[in-house]
Amino acid sequence: MFAALALLVLSLCYKIAALGVVVMLALGLAIWTCRESFRRFDGVFVLALAYIADATVTSFMVSFPAGVARTVQFGIIVVALVGLYAYAQSARRADAEFLLKGMGALCALVTAHLVIWHVLHHHLVTWKYLSDTKLVLSLALMPLFGLEDWIKAKGRHLFPALLVVAFAIVLLSGERKALILFCALFALCRFSLGAKLGLAAMIGAVASLALLLDDGHIHRELTSASHDYSHTPTRYFFTVQSIYDQSDIVREFVNRNAWTLFVHHPAFGVGATGYWAWAAATYGPTGFAMNVHGEVHRIPAEGGVFGIALVAGFFGLALWRAVRHLVNSGGFAAASLDRMPLYGIILLLSYCYAEAVDTAMLLLIGGVGVVVGALPVPAGSLRARGARITGSGSAVRAQAVPGSLRARS
């Protein structure tokens, strides 16, 4: 399983589409190999699949060829996710920890390649020019914080040192979503408040040093994030030279158009890829013809009220399950591994905040559905009572396999 996931991450980071397709189809083999422990689909997982379908299959509303292409993409992703879900039903906590360690090592190697490549090409800051390897800057934070307890056991100062190094890399990269994710996970990690404040001071010193090395990009990224273009006249955007290279400005223009499309198509939107098709037809091959970045703007335009309700239901239920699992696992004293479902949701939110829909986002949505859907079922929950009501046969199938993630062994 680790080998398949490692190849999948590499295919996403280096944009090797053929490899990604082969790996996702191969992951579907877990449906058969883990069939004995497979149980019914969890509600969070079903909503995740529905979310992915709304972001792909509804391309039929745009054109038949687009619908066929996106439906094939949906089918391949579903095969991979159902295979992962089947594996998660039988996986033990030791398996989850092993996967995190392996992914941590892989992310460290890709990050090293990312940094070395950019430095050799004279990019001391702004590391976004090597395929899509910037994705690893966010992914690497998951094993770092998820293995907090294990890392601390190896050395008292090892985890704080790794945090400082990770923050320096994220800051120098200029990757905003990774910076937001780091801050969120740092606030939720197991450090005491005093330790967090002390480490925050060290991180502040690192930030000051990074800004001294900056050529202005980091400062522009940080300040542009807080700049308000909402009152800027629409005609202004047509006067900006190379607007495509100024992401915050062009995104405000795109978001306004996306809202207009939602107003005119409120029920179901214009369908997946509908905004890009409209923009390409309206503006031609210019910087104004681009996808909507950020799900908060894309979903109303392409999914309408139906899409908004679907996605709100998915995130609401997933967040509720993750928080309840954290509380049942000890709350603020919960092990770092038990915080991973919540960390995964935060990773997905940070990605959805900044990026356009792509295969990585769709897999992250499904990944959250897999992880949260495989969480232990509390004895007094509606799911547990429902399993008892359906009869002895169904109840037996719904019980957690001893040692599985659901049993939290």
Q: What pLDDT is attached to residue 393?
A: 46
Q: What pLDDT is attached to residue 162?
A: 94
* Rounded CA separation 182/135 (Å): 13
Evaluate if residue 366 carries a pLDDT over 70.
yes
Contact 275, 306 (CB under 8 A): no
Per-residue pLDDT averaged across 159-166, rounded? 92
Evaluate if residue 225 carries a pLDDT over 60.
no
Q: What pLDDT is attached to residue 293?
A: 86
The 10s digit of each residue's pLDDT in 243-301 is: 555 666 777 778 888 999 999 999 999 999 999 999 888 887 766 677 888 899 999 99
The residue among 91, 55, 64, 121 whose CA lies nearest residue 366 is 55
Q: Under DSSP, is residue 92 helix (H, G, I), strand (E, B) or coil?
A: strand
Q: What pLDDT is attached to residue 404?
A: 45
Evaluate if residue 39 carries a pLDDT over 60.
yes
Using the structure block, give the residue that is written with the tokens 């909503």: 47
Contact 249, 278 (CB under 8 A): no
Evaluate if residue 222 carries a pLDDT over 60.
no
The 10s digit of each residue's pLDDT in 309-356 is: 999 999 999 999 999 999 999 888 899 999 999 999 999 999 998 888
Widest CA span of the chain, in angstroms?
Answer: 69
Q: What pLDDT is attached to residue 199?
A: 83
CB-based burial of residue 281 (10 Å sphere; 0-12 exposed, 13-18 middle, 19+ buried)?
A: exposed
The residue among 277, 290, 262 whose CA lies nearest residue 356 is 290
Q: Under DSSP, is residue 168 helix (H, G, I), strand (E, B) or coil?
A: helix
User: Could you say which DSSP state residue 404 is in?
Assistant: B
The 10s digit of each residue's pLDDT in 173-208 is: 888 899 999 999 999 998 888 888 888 888 878 777
Evaluate if residue 359 carries a pLDDT over 60.
yes
Evaluate if residue 62 carries a pLDDT over 90.
yes
Share of the chain above pLDDT 70, in %: 82
Phi, psi of 381 (to 5 degrees): -80, 165
230 Ramachandran zone, left/alpha/beta (phi>0; psi -120 to 50): alpha
Evaluate if residue 373 carries a pLDDT over 50.
yes
CA atoms within 13 Å, Cβ hemisphere of 274: 30
pTM of the model: 0.86
Contact 107, 139 (CB under 8 A): yes
Mean pLDDT for the chain? 85
3-state helix, strand, coil in the chain (%, to 5): 75, 0, 25
The 10s digit of each residue's pLDDT in 121-162 is: 888 778 888 889 999 999 999 999 999 999 999 988 899 999
* Rounded CA separation 58/92 (Å): 37
The residue among 403, 309, 311 whose CA lies nearest residue 357 is 311
Confidence of residue 74 (pLDDT cuts 50, 70, 90): very high
Per-residue pLDDT averaged across 209-229, rounded? 60
41-55, 273-287, 331-345, 387-401: segment of lowest average pLDDT: 387-401
Contact 142, 100 (CB under 8 A): yes
* Rounded CA separation 97/229 (Å): 44
Confidence of residue 398 (pLDDT cuts 50, 70, 90): very low
* Rounded CA separation 158/43 (Å): 39
Confidence of residue 392 (pLDDT cuts 50, 70, 90): very low
* Rounded CA separation 193/239 (Å): 49
